[in-house]
Each structure stands twice: as structure tokens, then as C-alpha cells.
């Protein structure tokens, strides 16, 4: 059960690619949500970014005016809590930092630019809130696809666990902008669009062979309209599903019509009609990777995810821990992908956490840092997939290049650097990857590096020789005791070598005592 908190008014602001949205809710003492206000204002941030690479001054002014209006409404409702986020249009803009600064200066609101992984994580939370059978659907296997203006976000759940996530630059507005010049040069634009989409999805052909996906969840700002058109009803909000038969029928019908006819025949605004074909095309190609008989359309938004996350943080809900474990499971999938030694990774994680907990009164870190340490332990050796020589550098690069659900860019940087320094090297001022971090994050990284180096030393042979670990603090000494059936000289020597950095960081001298124990005689 969630903890009890006072009633609160919270505002969720989503600065999207072609609209700015705000949802104001009241969260009562038990964590129940009551919507007070929902607003959506059009803006052309995405059109600027996807066609010119940056957002124009005029569009920035327009966005700031909208946010100022949002802020006035927040004041009227006395909303003391808010979270304003931006997605692909600002994330990919060349003048991203200036945009965020201008919004802060002109409106007073701080905007958080989400990574692809953070955006997916919040969407996942929104689904959990609005899809009652989510546990059964996850167990049966499901593909979740969110079609945004700039990109699509894809997540795969197999046997109840999150297996993979992908971000592909196939958003409906981006597709329309990128291919706009080619559209004028062909009589068969749908075929051209299909070729383009397939060229980006080719790399995911393995999905159908490797995973049994019986369900498909479709998300995005256009899903309400698509559901209405496919189901031929204005009650799309109540249905929340589209049968494959209805989807296929509508697709075959609309694919033959140019944009002006789509707008006229279906009563759509011209901008919606222009992006309908790209959205339907992407959905069609993605659902074909599954065995789904229908498309679930929970009609959730990023704002719903922001609200759900606020509740999880404020009330410390049970589901919050489930979300965190999903991310750890995804890290395990990444380790398997790069053929990491899973037994060694698990041993390093267990021993890292034991050392972390033993130092609790000394290191000054919290549960979130322990969480990042767990991620780093799982992934510290994945660079060996690239090259055994200097594998730690390749581990850093692979982690930086991967999409890590539920962590910020700064946190991902910490995880990557902890993996970078787990082996022979230690952080240096001359290392750009370390020194570009904020001072606070450098300190956290150094502490986690010192811990993981000790844990890695305790399994230097990758044979998990040392068991029965006990750790005790005695003044300025950390005494680690363990047992081993085999000779553990390699581990003891490596521990001595790596202990110097630990002592430098914590001012504590680590000592290791390994007691040899007799192997149990096998029964005759």
C-alpha cells in the first residue's frame, strides 16, 4: 500500500513536436488522481527541427507565450508541484540549450529534456495506470509502439519481462518532412513511403523469430483519430481496441487517397490528414512482427506518465519497485546481448552491494546510487564483446550508446564511467569522459568505482571462489572475510593492487582474509 500524503495539485507539461500540452490534476491523500484541467496548444517546434535542424526565434516566442499561459493557469489552481518536459523536437534541435534557457528566463519554468529512454519509461508508467490487464498482456508477450512526431518508441515484453527497447526516427511528422520533396516526384507515394519505413525496420526482422508476441499496444497523439476511423465510431475512448480486420480494412481504403481527399472524406484537418498515412504505415509494419489479433489503444499521454511518476515518488508505491526491477532486467538483457559472463556479473553485483551497505555510514550515498552500482556491475564487462584488450573502454562506449530505460543522461554517464574504471585504470583529470562531469557526479563515480574494483578483485578468476562474505568496519579498516575451497591467491593479489584507490577515496584501508575450507566428500 502507498504511504499517506497530504492532498496536492500537480501540473504535467509536455512540450512536444507540434503541440504543447498541460494536464493539471489533484492527487488526494490516498494517491487517487482527479483531473482538473487538460489543455493542448499547437506549435511548430518539430516542423522547424526536422526540416531546418533548429527551432526558429519566432517559434520559440510562440512556445514561450503558450508556457506563460500554462503558468498563469497553474497559479490560479495553486499548483505547487509541476514537471515540464520536452521531447524530440527540442532534444534534437541544434539550439537546444538556448531554447531551454529562453523558456526558463521568459516563463520561470524549468524544462527537462527527456532522453528517448526516459520518455519510454514515463509512457510505460502511463500504460500501467490505464491498462487493467497489463500483467497478463506482459506475460503473453507484447510489443508497445508509440508513434511520435519525430520518432517511434518500441518496447518488447516477453514472458513477463522487459526484453528490448528501440528508438527509430520514423515519427509521422519527420517522415512527412523528410520525404516531402520526393512526394512531388512520384505517382506512388505510399510505395515509396513503405520502402523507406522497411529500410529502417530491416534490422528488427529477428523479433518475430525470437519472441512470441501475442499482443500489440499502440500509442501516440493520433491514435484517438485512428481508432475512430478504423472502428467507424465516435466512441473510440470507450472501445480502447482496434481489431486487425478493422485496421486492415481502413488501411486499404485510405492508402489509395491523396492528402486532400483524406481531409475531405474523413473530415480531418489538413495537418492531420498529411501525417495519417505515415502513422498507419508504421503501425502496419510493426504489428506484422507480432501475432496480435487486435491493437490495444489505451489513449494515454506523456502527461499521464508524468503524473503516475509523481505519485510513485510521492507515495513510494509498490509498483515503483517493479518499475526499477524492470530496468535492471533490461540491463541483464543487454549483458546477454554482448555475451557477458553472467555468473561473474552476478557475483560482482552481490559483492558490490555488500560493500556498499557496509560503508553506509561512511560513503554518504543513497539508494539511487546503489541502484546505479547494480546497473554498472551487470554491464561492466560487456566491452569484451568488442575486444578483450582495453575492454573497459569498450564497455564505456557500449553503455553510452545504449538506451537505458528510467535513468537520466547524467546517471547513464555515471554507470558508463563506473564500468570504464572497474579494471586497471582509475579516473584522471586528463580523461575527458570523467572530467566533463559535474563535480558532484565525479565524486559519486569515484566512490562507486572504488567499490566495484574491490568486488571485481574478489572474483578475479571469474570462478566465484570466495563465498560466505562478511564485512566489518574496525576504525579506519574495512575487514572482509570469506571462505574458499580453492586457492584464492589471484583474488588476494588483485585485491591488494586495487585497494590503494579505495583507501584514497574513502580514507579506509580494506583488508581481505580468505579461509580455506575442505570440499565436501562426494557420497560413494
The per-residue pLDDT for range 61-81, each reduced to its tens digit, is: 999 999 999 999 999 999 999
pLDDT at 513: 96
332 and 285 share one domain: no
Any domain includes 180: yes
Sheet with 81-86: strands ordered across: 33-42, 19-27, 8-15, 81-86, 111-113
CATH label of the domain that carries residue 196? 3.30.420.150
152 and 181 share one domain: yes
Any domain includes 121: no
379 and 244 share one domain: no
CB-CB contact of 197 with 170 (8 Å): yes
Any domain includes 273: yes
pLDDT at 28: 87
CATH label of the domain that carries residue 78? 3.30.420.40
β 477-484/467-474 pair status: antiparallel
Query: Cβ neighbours of residue 488 under 8 Å, at least 6 residues apart?
Result: 465, 466, 482, 514
Chain-centroid distance of CA 366 in Å reads 21
377 and 429 share one domain: yes
Any domain includes 522: no
Any domain includes 268: yes
455 and 494 share one domain: yes
Q: Cell 519527420: give the residue.
A: 174
pLDDT at 435: 93
> Exposed, middle or buried by CB within 10 Å (0-12, 13-18, 19+), for 39?
middle
156 and 212 share one domain: yes
How far the first Cα of the chain sits from its last, in Å, is 53
Any domain includes 123: no
pLDDT at 521: 47
195 and 327 share one domain: no
Range of the domain at 431: 317-516
Give φ, ψ of 285 to 5 degrees.
-70, -35
Sheet with 241-243: strands ordered across: 161-168, 152-158, 142-147, 215-220, 294-296, 241-243
What's the number of CA atoms in the CB half-sphere (13 Å) around residue 488?
24
DSSP at 9: E
Q: Which pTM does this prediction carry?
A: 0.76
Rounded CA gap, 377 and 374, in Å?
5
Rounded CA gap, 172 and 150, in Å?
7
Give φ, ψ of 78 to 5 degrees.
55, 50
pLDDT at 81: 94
408 and 266 share one domain: no
292 and 359 share one domain: no
Question: Which of 299, 422, 405 lies closest to 349, judged by CA?
Answer: 422
Domain edge (last residue) among 255, 285, 311: 311
137 and 272 share one domain: yes
157 and 228 share one domain: yes
Domain edge (last residue) among 277, 311, 345: 311
137 and 260 share one domain: yes
State how many domains the chain has.
3
Any domain includes 3: no
pLDDT at 524: 40
Residue ranges in the chain whose pLDDT is less than 70:
1-4, 132, 236-237, 519-524
Domain edge (last residue) among 252, 286, 311: 311
3-state secondary structure of 195: helix
Any domain includes 126: no
Amino acid at each position: 500500500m502507498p504511504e499517506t500524503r497530504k492532498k496536492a495539485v500537480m501540473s504535467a507539461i509536455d512540450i512536444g513536436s507540434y503541440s504543447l500540452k498541460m494536464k493539471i490534476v489533484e492527487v488526494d491523500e490516498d494517491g487517487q488522481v482527479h483531473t482538473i484541467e487538460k489543455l493542448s496548444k499547437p506549435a511548430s517546434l518539430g516542423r522547424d527541427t526536422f526540416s531546418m535542424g533548429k527551432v526558429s526565434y519566432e517559434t520559440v516566442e510562440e512556445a514561450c507565450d503558450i508556457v506563460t499561459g500554462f503558468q498563469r493557469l497553474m497559479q490560479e489552481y495553486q499548483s505547487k508541484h509541476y514537471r515540464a518536459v520536452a521531447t524530440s523536437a527540442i532534444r534534437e534541435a541544434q539550439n537546444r540549450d538556448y531554447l531551454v534557457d529562453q523558456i526558463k528566463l521568459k516563463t520561470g519554468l524549468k524544462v527537462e529534456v527527456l532522453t528517448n529512454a526516459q520518455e519510454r519509461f514515463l509512457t510505460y508508467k502511463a500504460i500501467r495506470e490505464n491498462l487493467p490487464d497489463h500483467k497478463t498482456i506482459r506475460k503473453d508477450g507484447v510489443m508497445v509502439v508509440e508513434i511520435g512526431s519525430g520518432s517511434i518508441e518500441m518496447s518488447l515484453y516477453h514472458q513477463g519481462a522487459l526484453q528490448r527497447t528501440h528508438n527509430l526516427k520514423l515519427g509521422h511528422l519527420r517522415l512527412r518532412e523528410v520525404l516531402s520533396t520526393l512526394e512531388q516526384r512520384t505517382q506512388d507515394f505510399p510505395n515509396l513511403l513503405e520502402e523507406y519505413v522497411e529500410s529502417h525496420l530491416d534490422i528488427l526482422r529477428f523479433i518475430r523469430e525470437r519472441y512470441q508476441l501475442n499482443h500489440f499496444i499502440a500509442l501516440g497523439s493520433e491514435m484517438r483519430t485512428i481508432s475512430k476511423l478504423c472502428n467507424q465510431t465516435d466512441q473510440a475512448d470507450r472501445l480502447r481496441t482496434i481489431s486487425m480486420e478493422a485496421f486492415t480494412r481502413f488501411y486499404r481504403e485510405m492508402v489509395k487517397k491523396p492528402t486532400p481527399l483524406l481531409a475531405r472524406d474523413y473530415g480531418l484537418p489538413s495537418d492531420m490528414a498529411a501525417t495519417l498515412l505515415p502513422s498507419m504505415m508504421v503501425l502496419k509494419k510493426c504489428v506484422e512482427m507480432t501475432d496480435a489479433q487486435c491493437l490495444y489503444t489505451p489513449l494515454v499521454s506523456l502527461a499521464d506518465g508524468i503524473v503516475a511518476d509523481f505519485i510513485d515518488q510521492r507515495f513510494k508505491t509498490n509498483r515503483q519497485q517493479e518499475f526499477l526491477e524492470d530496468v535492471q532486467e533490461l540491463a541483464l538483457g543487454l549483458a546477454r546481448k554482448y555475451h557477458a559472463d553472467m555468473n561473474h556479473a552476478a557475483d560482482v553485483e552481490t559483492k558490490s552491494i555488500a560493500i556498499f551497505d557496509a560503508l553506509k555510514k561512511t560513503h554518504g550515498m543513497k539508494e539511487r546510487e546503489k541502484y546505479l552500482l547494480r546497473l554498472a556491475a551487470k554491464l561492466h564487462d560487456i566491452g569484451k564483446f568488442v575486444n578483450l584488450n582495453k575492454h573497459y573502454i569498450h564497455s564505456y562506449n557500449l553503455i553510452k550508446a545504449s538506451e537505458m530505460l528510467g535513468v537520466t543522461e547524467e546517471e547513464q554517464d555515471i554507470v558508463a564511467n563506473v564500468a570504464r574504471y572497474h579494471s586497471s585504470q582509475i579516473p584522471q583529470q586528463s580523461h575527458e569522459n570523467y572530467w566533463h562531469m559535474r563535480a558532484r557526479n565525479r565524486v559519486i563515480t569515484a566512490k562507486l568505482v572504488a567499490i566495484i574494483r574491490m568486488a571485481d578483485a574478489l572474483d578475479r578468476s571469474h570462478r566465484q571462489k570466495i563465498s560466505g562474505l562478511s564485512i566489518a568496519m574496525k576504525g579506519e579498516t574495512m575487514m572482509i572475510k570469506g571462505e574458499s575451497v580453492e586457492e584464492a591467491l589471484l583474488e588476494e593479489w588483485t585485491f591488494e593492487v586495487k585497494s590503494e584507490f579505495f583507501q584514497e577515496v574513502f580514507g579506509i584501508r580494506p583488508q581481505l582474509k580468505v579461509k580455506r575450507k575442505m570440499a565436501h566428500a562426494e557420497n560413494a
